[in-house]
Amino acid sequence: MIGWLVAGLIGLLALSIPVGIVLFLLGFGIDAFFSPFPLSRGLGNLVWSTSNNATLIAIPFFVLLGEILVRSGIAERTYAALDRWVSWLPGGLVHANIATATMFSATSGSSVATAATVATVALPQAERLGYDPRLFSGAIAAGGTLGIMIPPSINLIVYGFLTQTSIPRLFLAGLVPGLAMALGFSLVTAALCLLRPDLGGPRRVFPLAEMLRALTRLLPILMLFAVIVGSIYLGWATPTEAAAVGVAGALAIAAALGGLGAGMLAEAIRGTVRTTAMIMLVVVGASFLNFVLAAAGIGRALQDFLGGLGLPATGFILVVVALYVVLGFFIETLSLMVVTIPIVVPLVVAQGFDPVWFGILMIVLVEMALITPPVGLNLYVVQGARRGGRMGEVMQGTLPYLAVMLAMVAALIAFPAIALFLPGLVP
C-alpha cells in the first residue's frame, strides 16, 4: 500500500495539481479505503490546532521581509556592490551571483525568492558581457538554495515546528554548513573557469576607492542580518519577534533609500499573502495526511520496515540519504519535508542521532531537490527569468554545484560537529 501512496503522490503532482490539494486528496483516499472509521470528521480540529501556533507567524514576516528587499531595490544595490569586490576572481560575475544569493539568504529565508531575485538582477549582465549561459544560470539556481540553509530559514522553522526542536539552535547549526557551501560554490566556479576560461566572462578589477564606496551599499543588509539573527542568538527575541523587527527594519531602510511607496508595499503584501497561503496549505495538508497515515497504521508499517533492516547507525543514515535523493526528484521540497518528518525523524533519533544535526542534513538534501529535475523549483525560476535558451542549459550548469552539496552531505555524516559546534556553545 505504501507503493500505491507514492505512486498516487507522484501521479497527482504530474497532473499539475497544487501540492497542498494533493496531500488532502491522498489523505481522503486513505481514509476512505484503509481507515476503520471516518478520520475526516476531525479535519476541522486538526486544521485549527496546526495553524494556531505562534511559531508559524514567523513565516509571513520573513516572506514579507524578502518581498520588501526585492521590490524596494535593495537587492540590486547589494548585487552591484558585491560585483565590485568579487569580479576579479576566475569566473568574474558568477561569483557575484553566489555572493548575492548568500547575503540575500541571510534575510529572506526562501530559496525560490533568493533565486528569483538574483536571476532578475544578474541575467541582463550575463547577456551584455557574454557569459556562458550554463554556468551562469546554474550558479544562480544553486546559490538560491542557500535561502533555506543560512538563517533565517522558513524550512528550518517548519522543521523545528514539526519536531519540537529549538529553532534558534537550528539557525545556529545551519550557519557554518551554509557558508561552507557558498565558499564551495565559489571554489568550484574558480576551478572550472581556470580550466575553461571560456565559461567565465571578463575579470574586472575596480579601483580601491570605488570598492570602498560599494561597502556602504552593503551596510544596510548586514545591519538587518545582525539585528534579526543577533537578537535570536542572544535570547532577546523569539524568531517570530525577530522577524517582525526585521520587517520594520526593512521598511526603514527602504524609506531611507527612497524605495518605499504605496504601490511597492501593496505588491509586497500581495506576494506575501500568495506565498504564505501556499506554505500553510502544504503544512496543513501534510498534517492531515500524516494524521491519516498514523491512524491507518501505514506510518508504523514504514517505521517497522526501516527499523527492521538491522543496519548499523551509519548504514541506516545512508539509506535515509538515498531515500531523500530519490524522492527529491519527484516531490517538491517543503512537501517532502512535512510528509517524511513524522516518519523518519523518530527513527533517526532512536538511532542516537541529534535532531538538530539531522535537520541540517535534511536541508542539504532538499536543497539538492531544488535543482534536480523534473520538479526542481529553482530550475524553473531561473529559466523563467531568462529571455531564451533551453532548460537543459540550466540543469547542466547546476551539476558542479550538486557535487558540492553531495560533499557537504558526506562531511556532515563524517563530522557532525560541522553543524553542532555553534549550537554547543549556547546553553
Tens-place pLDDT, residues 340-386: 888 888 888 888 899 999 999 999 999 898 888 776 778 887 887 78
Each residue's pLDDT tens digit, 26-40: 777 776 666 666 666
Confidence of residue 411 (pLDDT cuts 50, 70, 90): very high
The pLDDT value recorded for residue 37 is: 61
Where do the structural domains in the chain lie, given as residue ranges? Answer: 19-30+39-424
How many residues are there in the chain? 427
Report the share of the chain in percent with pLDDT over 90: 17
**Tens-place pLDDT, residues 49-59:** 777 777 778 88
The helix (H) or strand (E) run that includes residue 395 is: helix 391-414
367 close to 185: Cβ distance less than 8 angstroms: no
- Residue whose C-alpha is closest to residue 139's, from 110, 156, 114: 114
Residues 207/224, Cβ–Cβ less than 8 Å: no
The 3-state secondary structure of 25-61 reads HHHHHHHHHHCCCCHHHHHHHHHHHHHCCHHHHHHHH
The 3-state DSSP class for residue 391 equals helix
pLDDT of residue 185: 95
Q: What is the mean pLDDT of residues 297-324?
A: 78
Q: Determine contact, residues 239/152, Cβ cutoff 8 Å.
A: yes
Distance, CA of 23 to CA of 45 (rounded, Å): 17
